[in-house]
């Protein structure tokens, strides 16, 4: 490879890295959920926590994204909302990621 | 009732009415909330027809500058009294709303929310201000507030900070000497929050810094350029710093 090709490769890698970073940040914003007046990041951590707690308790307390406590009285509904928000955001990220890596 | 409040005051250098002509239709399309624009008569005369929008005509305070150009940002503390809404989404006029993301924030019970972190869409890391003061700056670009005593106190505190800004810049060792709402709100939240943490928007503010020249905008995306690189941003709200956006 000559220096021009190497530079093109480097530029392409930069574009991919930046696009991936922006797509990931977009996904993080999209995963913010308002539920019962609280804000949550619908990420794997809260989804797993709610899934585990609902197996043991009919109602329980979780912390929102600002560490404010919220009593969960309908765990199934809350979990459904979290999962759908999470997957909505990640599906978009997945599509963008495929576009980014194939088109460069 | 929820609604959007915008400030729009032209300067001798910048035509914010032209920016409003681009951002207001996006807000209407994506949020479907009532919109109120706080402006003065000179700017109002230049605004194009924007459909159902409420206007509050008022004189703005002068005397602040950025890069030696007038900066009409001294009236933000009046948003609490001027807003006709129970829950207000207060936005900079150069916030391009491409999604309904702000509705999620307005659905929360929090009576005052701002961004604490920014995401530089150019990847240049343009906003590393942590060394510029003793406290972390917040971004007053998006403020979601309710009509509560606490929210009123925050805006009252911002007015007090504005009137005594040099004192507070010394106290917090802020090296931006011209008045900046971002710091005024950060100080107000710090003071009224008992010098502890406060609730923030759990996401970063997507921003195109001034080094990114905006090449084009449509209903879905913004095209921009930094040096030789051309980028596109779609499906996310964007705070655009480049005032050249008025002419795109």
pLDDT tens per residue, range B23-72: 999 999 999 999 999 999 999 999 999 999 999 999 888 878 777 778 78
Three-state DSSP state, B168: helix
For the whole model, what pTM was predicted?
A: 0.94
| pLDDT for position B105 | 98
Name the residue ranges covered by the structural domains of chain B. Answer: 2-208
Contact B229 A33 (CB under 8 A): no
| pLDDT for position A104 | 64
Contact B101 A32 (CB under 8 A): yes
Name the residue ranges covered by the structural domains of chain A. Answer: 22-103
CATH topology of domain B2-208: Spore Coat Polysaccharide Biosynthesis Protein SpsA; Chain A (3.90.550)
Contact B110 A66 (CB under 8 A): yes
Pairing mode of beta strands B221-226, B229-234:
antiparallel
Which residues neighbour B229 within 8 Å (Cβ) at sequence distance 6 or greater?
Answer: A11, A14, A15
pLDDT digits 0-9 by tens, B160-219: 999 999 999 999 999 888 899 999 999 999 999 988 889 999 999 999 999 999 999 998
**Average pLDDT value for chain B:** 93
Mutate to test the interface with A, among B100, B106, B109, B122 (most CBs of A within 10 A): B109
Using the predicted structure, report yes or no on whether residue B144 has a pLDDT greater than 80: yes
Which residues 70-99 of chain B have a CB within 8 Å of chain A? 99
Reading the block at residue B140, the tokens are 């007053």
Pairing mode of beta strands B229-234, B238-240:
unpaired
Using the predicted structure, report yes or no on whether residue B131 has a pLDDT greater than 80: no
- Answer whether B133's CB lies under 8 Å from A62's CB: no
- Report the pLDDT averaged over residues B108-129: 91
- Whether A45 and chain B come into contact, CB under 8 Å, resolves to no
Using the predicted structure, report yes or no on whether residue A86 has a pLDDT greater than 90: yes
**Average pLDDT value for chain A:** 95
């Amino acid at each position: 490879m000559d220096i021009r090709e190497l530079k093109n490769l480097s530029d392409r890698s930069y574009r991919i890295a930046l696009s991936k970073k922006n797509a990931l940040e977009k996904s993080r914003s999209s995963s913010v959920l308002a539920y019962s007046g609280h804000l949550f990041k619908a990420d794997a951590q809260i989804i797993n926590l709610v899934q585990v707690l609902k197996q043991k308790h009919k109602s329980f307390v979780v912390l929102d994204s600002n560490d404010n406590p919220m009593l969960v009285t309908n765990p199934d509904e809350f979990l459904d909302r979290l999962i759908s928000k999470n997957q909505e955001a990640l599906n978009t990220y997945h599509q963008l990621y495929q576009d980014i890596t194939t088109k460069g | 009732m929820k609604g959007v409040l915008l400030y729009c005051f032209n300067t001798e250098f910048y035509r914010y009415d032209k920016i409003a002509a681009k951002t207001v239709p996006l807000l209407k399309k994506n949020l479907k909330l009532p919109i109120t624009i706080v402006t003065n008569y000179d700017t109002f005369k230049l605004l194009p027809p924007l459909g159902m929008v409420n206007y509050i005509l008022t004189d703005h305070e002068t005397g602040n500058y950025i890069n030696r150009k007038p900066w009409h940002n001294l009236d933000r503390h009046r948003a609490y009294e001027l807003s006709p809404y129970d829950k207000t989404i207060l936005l900079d006029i150069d916030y391009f709303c491409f999604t309904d993301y702000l509705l999620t924030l307005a659905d929360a019970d929090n009576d005052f929310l701002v961004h604490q972190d920014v995401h530089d869409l150019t990847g240049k890391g343009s906003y590393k201000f942590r060394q510029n003061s003793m406290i972390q700056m917040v971004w007053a670009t998006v403020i979601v507030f309710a009509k509560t005593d606490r929210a009123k106190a925050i805006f009252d505190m911002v007015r007090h900070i504005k009137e005594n800004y040099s004192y507070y810049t010394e106290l917090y060792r802020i090296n931006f000497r011209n008045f900046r709402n971002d710091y005024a709100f950060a100080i107000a939240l710090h003071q009224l929050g008992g010098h502890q943490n406060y609730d923030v928007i759990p996401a970063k503010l997507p921003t195109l810094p001034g080094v990114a020249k905006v090449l084009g905008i449509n209903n879905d995306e913004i095209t921009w350029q930094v040096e030789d690189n051309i980028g596109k941003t779609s499906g996310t709200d964007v705070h655009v710093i480049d005032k050249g956006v008025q002419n795109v």
